[in-house]
Amino acid sequence: MLNVIKIGGNVIDNEQALKSFLVDFSAIRGFKMLVHGGGQLSTKLSEMLDIQAQMIDGRRVTDAETLKVVTMVYAGWINKSIVAQLYANGCTALGLSGADANTIPAVKRNPLPIDYGFVGDISPARVNVGFLRSVMEQGAVPVFSAITHDTKGTLLNSNADTVASSLAIAMSHITPTRLIFCFEKKGVLSNLDDDSSVIPEITRDMYAEYKVQGIISGGMIPKVDNAFKAIDSGVKEVLIKHATAINTGGGTTIK
């Protein structure tokens, strides 16, 4: 079983939490991949460089200057720091962006009706599974930032959850694959103020009802959307759980 695991920015922003997670990740046996988000460092660097953040409906616009910053931070500092820590834990890792070996080609999102700038949408069918299989067969663990490219010379900023889901879907066609979204909560919660209110499993009907009730909202919606897309496309199992629980039970299973 191949494990494709995604960690969120809140874990990356917490030095001790990230260190602990990477110890646990290194202990996972068999084939595995890691996809990471960006954290707050890109925002801080943008402020230092006097690059104003542009938001539309709560979503960040990636203009040309912001693209430079997120590439430096996501594909640079964060990615290579994670790779270095994995090596320290005895895990041979290879830090990648979607542009490396044309691993994750993307398409710049249509500027109509809303122009989000240099944002890339991904098709799992275009993921370079042959290269990834070769990397893992040689004993290396791919570690991905969410920077992709359009194959015409332009880098793009993609959603990290979508990157993880697309990789899992693509790899599921050659090997049984599990997708795990790890973040700072114990799973999908029925009450955001109660960390113990984990919903153990979610079906499509439950998901539709939870959205109507406002139980699942905001940033959790694209995460669950990606989970169902993965299940529908051949991924064996999708889990949403706390970053400290990747080697234990618990969390929310998407069915």
pLDDT value at residue 222 = 85
Exposed e or buried b per residue across 27-53, where buried means at least 16 C-beta atoms within 10 angstroms of its C-beta: ebeebbbbbbbbbebbbebbeeeebee
Is the pLDDT at 57 greater than 80, yes or no?
no
pLDDT value at residue 58 = 66
Angle at which helices 220-232 and 204-213 cross, to 10°: 170
- The residues, any chain, with a CB within 8 Å of residue 28's CB and separated by 6 or more, are 3, 5, 246, 247
pLDDT digits (tens, 9 = 90+) for 192-231: 889 999 999 999 999 999 999 999 988 888 889 999 999 9
Is the pLDDT at 70 greater than 90, yes or no?
yes
CA pair distance 176, 161, nearest whole angstrom: 19
pLDDT value at residue 64 = 96
Identify the CATH number of the domain defined by range 2-254.
Answer: 3.40.1160.10
pLDDT value at residue 55 = 81
pTM of structure: 0.95
pLDDT value at residue 60 = 82
Structure tokens that stand for 133 in this block: 């299989």
Average confidence (pLDDT) over 59-88: 96
